[in-house]
Chains A and B, each alone.
Chain A
Amino acid sequence: MSGETTAQVATGAGGAAAGRPVLEAVHVTKHFPVRGGLPRRGATRKVVHAVEDVSLSLYAGRITALVGESGSGKSTLARLLAQLYPVTGGEVRLHGRSVRALRGKAFRDHVRQVQLILQDPFASFNPVATIAGTLRRAVALHHPGKRGRERTAVIDDLLTQINLVPPRQFTAKYPHELSGGQLQRISIARALAADPEVFLADEPVSSLDVSIRLGILNLLRRLTEERNAAMLYVTHDIASARYFATDTAVMYAGQVVESGPSEAVTQQAAHPYTQLLIASAPDPSRASADRVKDIGQPPSLIDPPAGCRFHPRCPYAMERCKVDTPASFDISPGHTARCWLYADDEEARARRAENAEAVATLTAPVSLDIPAPPDSPVTPDSPVAPDTSTD
């Protein structure tokens, strides 16, 4: 291809540098041109500012959640990391090296290490191909040496890894004959065929029934741990990020507004948007007395607000929020928020105190005597007691 492709073949030394991110987005920006309308002379062409100056790092053996509402740019970021779109600015780094691999061999080398899992299992399978047909293609791509029987053996092994046993019961089926949970497992198997170092899971459980979500999440967690892979978990459900991901980043209108360890982000949310997100989530485990009042809507990304993009909805907005893009402030080790409330000046301090008071009871549990659960037998794939022996 062209000389700008710098994707590297896996060095196999992923585990060696545990402290270094496997895959990073460094000041990544993505603008989509707006289609339609006659181009006017002199006027600059309109763009959608889908992702603006986002940096995010994924580490081996760790799950990072990317939380946001629809249109926040979280799915776009996942696709930028998968190299399905070119970045407008900034760079994507794999093992510290800048990657620009949109096509050809370089792209295939990239996807061999970075695999994307899509949201809707019913839509992500070719309806006229059997499961075996779909999986055989992925296996043929990523295990080029294998033929016939060997490929079938690989497929059987993949299906066994995702707990669809016996595999032969599924391979001859067409997508419409399987349930959503089964199909989502199979799309995970398809990603596994590449034996990747990074999984990018774009809302992997949003379109599934509540009772089977946990099984899929636990499967993803198990795979991440067993393979020491990195995972990006894109979701709109901040509560699931708390349980499932080590770190959480919250996106609003194309920007990461808060990030840090999941427990800190969900229990001591610093950014007013994160607080709003938490306050809005239905959750009977909290005393629901004080809900944050909000009547706003996310801004247009064609013409985003100046300064902090959240300021038109923010009850704590100050003058500078309308003008200056907030810097990143450290809340606690590893926990940062892009919000002027955490600046070191008189007005910010006053507002900060006001905010702290308002959200003090945000995640306070329902006033119930909650006895610690009796030492219940460890359930397979249980999130707080990860046990990967069975599934």
Chain B
Amino acid sequence: MALQPAALAEADATAESSGGPNHLWLRLLRSPLTLSGLVIVLIFVVLAVIAPWVSPYDPSAVSDSTLVGPSASHWLGTTQNGQDILSQMLYGARASMFVGIGAAVLTTLLSVLVGVTAGYIGGIGDELLSLLANVFLVLPSLPLTIILAAYLPHSGSLGIILVITVTGWAWGARVLRAQTLSLRKRDFVEAARATGERTWRIILKDILPNQVAVIAASFLGTVTGAILTQASLAFLGLADVTQWSWGTILYWAQTGSALLTGAWWWFVPAGLAIAVLGTALSLVNFGIDEFINPRLRQAGIGTKKAQRGQVSAKRVRRVKRRGPAVRRPAAAPFTQDSTDVVLDVRNLRVEYVGEGGRTPAVSDVSFTLRRGEVLGIAGESGSGKSTLAYAITRLHKPPAEISQGEIHYTKPDGSTVDVLAMDDTELREFRWEELSIVFQSAMHALNPVLRIGAQIEDVIVAHRPGMNAPERAARVIELLGIVGIPADRANSYPHELSGGMRQRAMIAVGLALDPEIIVMDEPTTALDVVIQRQIIEKIMELKDRLGFSVVFITHDLSLLIELSDTIAVMYGGKVVEMAAADDFYRRPQHPYSRGLLASFPTLGGPKRELTGIAGSPPDLRRLPSGCAFRPRCPHAFDACAAQVPQLYRIGAPGGGSSLAACLLHTDASPDQAADPAADPASDPKTDTAAAAGAGDPHSETTPNELATGETR
């Protein structure tokens, strides 16, 4: 109907880029350190180039004014023989820079050639080249340099360049080989291969550009190293001391006992020049990664990985005696009429604080979790579902911040605690004891160097200091049995278990302290369907037996409908629909929910029409005005742009009700305290809304109506 072409083409979501400067130079200018480093290096290069024309004297010319300090005629003073030190410095810059850059070019070329070839071809060629590099790497480089230099006493700068190259290429080659090995396995290299690209072009276009940062860093490092080596060799008299370089200045200063005679001007400029150039090159080095990599460190929304804090089962120092544990009432099956609330979340708002301001990832989310209930939270990437999970458990890390809202937890004995007001100790006890978390990637959440049994035991040690070793061991075996891991697997390391077994082990860790609530963040997403089914059935069986409540977060709506009692659908950081799973499946109320349900291919019954949803999920940093789903919504009308819809309660003909945040339902009663912004009278689509509320919803207004109709 009102499908907008822009939305269809997915063009809207990222139409304007996130504001990264497009010009490399502009990007560079933003980093003052890199810029100043670059300026200093450039000054040195320019001085070296123009030295013959700007030098006031011939650097070797002797004069009568011997060993005078800096003066108007000799800015940097003179040597024992009356030679002008400024001229020597300028000419010296030529030699030092020539050696530095020359050696760096040769070394880098050699290491790129050897490293990338070895890494890309692999096999026997790789082994030979690596062996060669390793031999050069273990040779002590300074003695080697001295010996080699001794054989080439008067060959000038070129000889020194060769010496530095021979002793210096191996390190870079090794690093580049390792990098090439990992790049070669990346999908984009395989993609290039599958398009039929030639090998040398893959190396040139795919491998090398991704190594520029390393190559440049090694180049700059070699420049510094070569200048230092040249200076050392010259200072030791192992280079041609008649050719002016900073090293030879130091050599002559030392020979002329400059330090003893107090002629500081003789050696300080050369030393300073080396130090300053070295520092400047390091500064350039710092900024080079940012300069080259198009994916700038973006302020704002952190990556999932950054948010994903490790749950530490650190030992609790303070032993807190728990009173006689209040056993929760026998696991009564959950019903929708239950009012036994365990977790009450009110108006929760979580923001990411970045340079560009505050980005709300979760805004105004409210729900209650009742004892024994499975609450499913569905959402796509960027919907805020994982942020919500982390906020509930207070595992969110900066830049995420809970800026508003309340979370209350009710203990089995009936007392209620404010989760957001807990201090660290209380929080540690709350997690695991009352509420535990099972993450998506068991491999990352389990410690790879600890046996499974030990990791489960760790949690018990931390929280049940009264338990002795045999009791703990028995509990570990019991827990493994509960989740269906054979007891002998307690001594396995995580990598020795299959994905499904690891996920079971995570669940065992989560169950270790008999918590009231388990938050599961995509616990089965990485698993195959058959294994997923095993895990889900295990979770459901345990829930019925042990009577805990579950918050289950996933993007897989069909899975969620099967296992949840209640479903909350998130979009753009908000809950857009919440209903009992059955009601939700039979009568989805929000256009987004309907679109989602019509995106899943089915196995049962006749094939139905799949419509999907046009466009792509929104970027939280640039949410559309009004309803976040508006650009993709087939029913959007004018008011949707102006007004953020609140949750409306929609009654179902056969009892039960849903909450949906959609202006199509403005005539239904608002769920929360009246929101003055939501005035149904101003709604131009009241007719539609009326139809929607009258129990015969959307029959004519919803092209992507589900086949599952309204009748029971």
Contact = CB atoms under 8 A, between A and B. Distances in A.
Nearest to A160: B9
B540 to A, nearest CB: 11
Given A107-B196, A383-B609, A297 B709 contact: no
B646 to A, nearest CB: 23
Contacts of A236: 528-529
A115 B194 contact: yes
Contacts of A365: 604-606
A136 to B, nearest CB: 10
A377 interface: yes
B196 A112 contact: yes
B483 to A, nearest CB: 12
Interface in A187-230: 187, 190-191, 193-194, 209-215, 218
Interface stretch (A49-57, A92-100, A281-289): A281-289
A297 B196 contact: no
A178 B194 contact: no
Contacts of B613: 211-212, 214
Contact of A282 (B14, B17, B212, B559): B559
A8 B576 CA distance: 56
A241 to B, nearest CB: 8
Interface stretch (B351-359, B530-538, B664-672): B530-538
B424 interface: no
The range of chain A's interface size is 35 or more
Contacts of A194: 195-196
B380 A210 contact: yes
A239 to B, nearest CB: 4
B607 interface: yes
A262 to B, nearest CB: 10
B209 interface: yes
Contacts of A125: 188, 191
A9 interface: no
Contacts of A295: 484, 534
A157 to B, nearest CB: 15
Given A107-B196, A128-B209, A209 B11 contact: no
A190 B614 contact: no
B604 A379 contact: no
B209 A368 contact: no
B600 A239 contact: yes
B611 A190 contact: no
Contact of A209 (B188, B531, B555, B558): B555
Interface string A224-263: 0000000000001111101110000000000000000000
Contacts, number: 271
B709 A370 contact: yes
B611 A363 contact: no
Contacts of A360: none
B711 interface: yes
A359 interface: no
B155 interface: no
B544 interface: no
A17 interface: no
Given A84-B193, A126-B209, A141-B197, A212 B612 contact: yes
A210 B558 CA distance: 11
Residue of A266, A285, A364 with most chain B CB atoms under a 10 A cut-off: A285
Interface of A: 69-70, 82, 84, 107-108, 110-112, 115-116, 118-120, 123-129, 137-138, 141-142, 163-166, 169, 172-174, 176-182, 185, 187, 190-191, 193-194, 209-215, 218, 236-240, 242-244, 266, 276-288, 291, 294-295, 297, 363-366, 368-374, 376-377, 379-385, 391
23 contacts: A111-B194, A123-B186, A126-B206, A127-B210, A129-B206, A137-B201, A172-B22, A179-B616, A181-B10, A212-B616, A214-B611, A214-B613, A218-B612, A236-B528, A280-B533, A282-B533, A368-B712, A371-B707, A372-B707, A373-B706, A382-B611, A384-B608, A385-B609
Given A116-B194, A366-B605, 16 more contacts: A70-B528, A116-B191, A126-B205, A127-B293, A127-B294, A141-B196, A164-B11, A185-B10, A214-B611, A244-B601, A280-B529, A287-B604, A363-B603, A368-B708, A373-B609, A379-B611
